[in-house]
Structures are given as structure tokens and as C-alpha cells.
Structure 1
Amino acid sequence: MAFLTPSLTRPAALWRGLGIALGGALLITLGAKAQIPFWPVPMTLHTLAVFFLAAALGPRLALAAMATYLAAGALGMPVFSGAPERGIGLAYMAGPTGGYLAGYLLGTGLTGWLAQGRGLIGRFLAMLAGLAVVYALGLAWLATFLPASGLLAAGFTPFILGDLVKLALASGLISGLALLRARAQ
């Protein structure tokens, strides 16, 4: 459902795609930096931004935005949640949350692909599939830092409720924007 990207000439589409990738990376960064009190742990809006972009832009542009975000982080820009306090660059990416970052890249592509042409529920399910990829890679990587007995308590249980709320918000936001766009035409 790439409803945010109208048809353009090839050079215009290239520039528009570059702008969308940079803007998407900025949105993901802002989401990673935003902290909202939540139970049992404070949450960021990172997941909301990533999956909103994936479902709204489609797989190619969303992957470009996520790859731009990860490239900025790899180059040492403090785009990640907790950066620069918890490190920057490749050192941060190789840390305990590195698997989640890789999962976001793959989950973005999967979500963007599955969400194309879907309604509210279909988009939510596409985002849920992408989130499953994020958690699978994240927990697999986190297992190299923690014993298996504490893995779910550290890397899944505190975050899943907030992530499900963010997926519902992202899916609803896309539906609302699509409705506004349809009324404007």
C-alpha cells in the first residue's frame, strides 16, 4: 500500500525516493529518541515509526529508509535509542540490541511486502509478521549475551505489550491517512 508515493518521472522518482529515505530515517530516529512512560518499562516510538513506514511506503522505500537509518548509526551518528550514552556506531550495533536492529531491517521488507493492498487487519497482521522477525533475530542475538533462562524476561516480555499497541496505532494511522487522502481527491 504505497499510497504516499505517486507516479513520477524517473529522475523525479529518484530524488523523491532519496528524500523519502532520508525523511524516513529521521522519523525512525525521532521514534527511537522519544520515551513514553509505560509498564513494565518505558517505551520508545521506534517500532511505531518503523512499521508505519513499512506498511505505508511499501518494501523498497521502507527498506531504503531503514537502511539509511542503520547506515547513519553505523557511521557514528547518535540515532539509536540510548545513544550516545550506551555507545555509538558499530560498537552499539554489535551490542545486545544488534539483533533487533537487523531484525528491523528484514521485518521492514517483509511488512512492506505483505501489507501491500491490505486493509486495517491485513496491515496489522503484516506488521505482526515483521515484528516476529524482529524478535526472532533480536532474541537469537541477545542469547549470545545472556543465559537462556533470562532471555524472554530481558528481551521479550517487557516490550511485547507496548509493541502490539504501537502496531495497532500504526495500522490505524495509515487507515486514517488513506481515508483523508481519498476524501481530498
Structure 2
Amino acid sequence: MHKTSANFQASMNTRQMVLIALMTAVTCILAPFSIPIPISPVPISLTNLVLYISVFILSWKQATLSYAVYLLLGIAGLPVFSGFAGGLAKVAGPTGGYLAGFIFLTILSGFVIQKSSGKYRYLFYTLGLLLGTAVMYVFGTFWLAAQMNLTFAQGLAVGVLPYLPVDIIKIVIALVLGPILRKRLCNIH
């Protein structure tokens, strides 16, 4: 009986590691694809969509770890950031605050999603994703404003407002796909 329990625990750990690695790989593959916006140095990327989905599949700690590995790969120079860029210069540039803010997106959104259940869980899922996105926007806006010598309001106009409609669509996609993938990959309802 003890051996079966140990095997089950080891397989769960292996499964979790595989899912973390899988989400890191998906982030590395999809995040570089981006659409530049003429009025902003911040492109539209798929990074937050992947993170929105990862917080359904992984615990908040695992999703944060997955993103941290992605971030470290990018800092090390792999071309995994938007526009197939890599290196410390990307993190130190105008979009670095968003890259840092994504850490808090995974923590906050993941925590809320992980703790949500019952009849109102989709409401809490939505609130969790919106809260994580708002905190990410704050970090990104402060950094962007400081880098470009803008006021916070100007930073919002350039680094947040043009992205709201697309990010709302990404949240809706995550609200549809996230629970389905969670159920299929993790057997969690």
C-alpha cells in the first residue's frame, strides 16, 4: 500500500512538472508573435492569453514558476519575447514593466481561480483575471511612463487603453478554454 501511495505521489509530481514545462513551452512559442501598434512601443502579444489559460491548468504557484522560467529564458537571450526579441535590454526597455507585471497577473489571477468553486465560480474567474490584468497594467504603465518620460495618464493612454478591447477578448477566450483544458488535462471540475 505504501509503495502505491509513493508511486501516485511521484506521478503527480511528474505530471505537474510536465504541465509546467508544457505551459512554459507554449508561452515561448506564442509570446513572440506580436502586432506592433503605431502609437505605442507596446505590441499586442499573446503572452497574457497564454498566462490566462495557464492559471486554469496550473496552480498559481506553478503558473508563476512557468512564467518565471519563460522570463529567465528571455533574459538569457532566447528570442521568446514579443517580436522574437530576447535579452536583458527587452526587460530594461519600455515594455519591461509589463513583463514584470505578468508575475503578479499569474499570482493574483491564479490564486482567485484556484480558490473559486461553486455556482459563482465563473464570476470569480472573471474577477480574478481582471484583477491580475489591472495590476499588470499598473506595473507596465509606471515603467513605460518612467522610460518614456510620460505622466501616468499619458502612459495609460499609450500603454493600456488601446489594448483593452483585445485583452477583454483574450479573457473571454480564456474563460471558455481554461476550464475545458483544466478538466481534460488535470481532471479538475
Say whether the fold is shared (TM-score over 0.5): yes
- Deviation per CA, 1:15-61: give whole Å up to 9, x if none: 333322221111112331334799x9973322111111013322121
The two structures, once aligned, show a CA RMSD in angstroms of 3.0
Distance between the aligned counterparts of 1:60 and 1:124, measured in 2?
19
Gapped regions of structure 1 (runs ≥ 5) = 1-7
- Percent identity over paired residues: 32
Q: Which amino acid aligns with 2:164?
A: I
Q: Are 1:162 and 2:166 counterparts?
A: yes
Match runs of 1:1-185 below 5 Å: 9-35=8-34, 43-84=44-85, 88-116=86-114, 117-118=116-117, 119-146=121-148, 147-148=150-151, 150-177=154-181
Determine if contact 1:62/1:112 at 8 Å carries over to the other structure: yes
Gapped regions of structure 2 (runs ≥ 5) = 1-6
Task: Using structure 1 for the length normalisation, give the TM-score.
Answer: 0.81
Query: What SS class does the counterpart of residue 43 from structure 1 fall into?
Result: strand
Task: Using structure 2 for the length normalisation, give the TM-score.
Answer: 0.79
Distance between the aligned counterparts of 1:56 and 1:180, measured in 2?
9
Larger radius of gyration: 2
Q: Which amino acid aligns with 1:34?
A: F
- Deviation per CA, 1:106-127: give whole Å up to 9, x if none: 1101111111234222211111
- Number of paired residues? 174
More helix by share: 2
Distance between the aligned counterparts of 1:100 and 1:59, measured in 2?
18
Distance between the aligned counterparts of 2:184 and 2:71, measured in 1?
31
Determine if contact 2:141/2:159 at 8 Å carries over to the other structure: yes
Query: What SS class does the counterpart of residue 12 from structure 1 fall into?
Result: helix
Determine if contact 1:107/1:130 at 8 Å carries over to the other structure: yes
Q: Shift of the alpha carbon at 1:95?
A: 0.7
Compared CA separation, residues 101 and 120, structure 1 to 2 (3 A): same
Distance between the aligned counterparts of 1:78 and 1:95, measured in 2?
15
Q: Shift of the alpha carbon at 1:9?
A: 3.6
Q: Which amino acid aligns with 2:53?
A: F
Compared CA separation, residues 160 and 65, structure 1 to 2 (3 A): same
Compared CA separation, residues 175 and 12, structure 1 to 2 (3 A): closer
Distance between the aligned counterparts of 1:130 and 1:43, measured in 2?
17
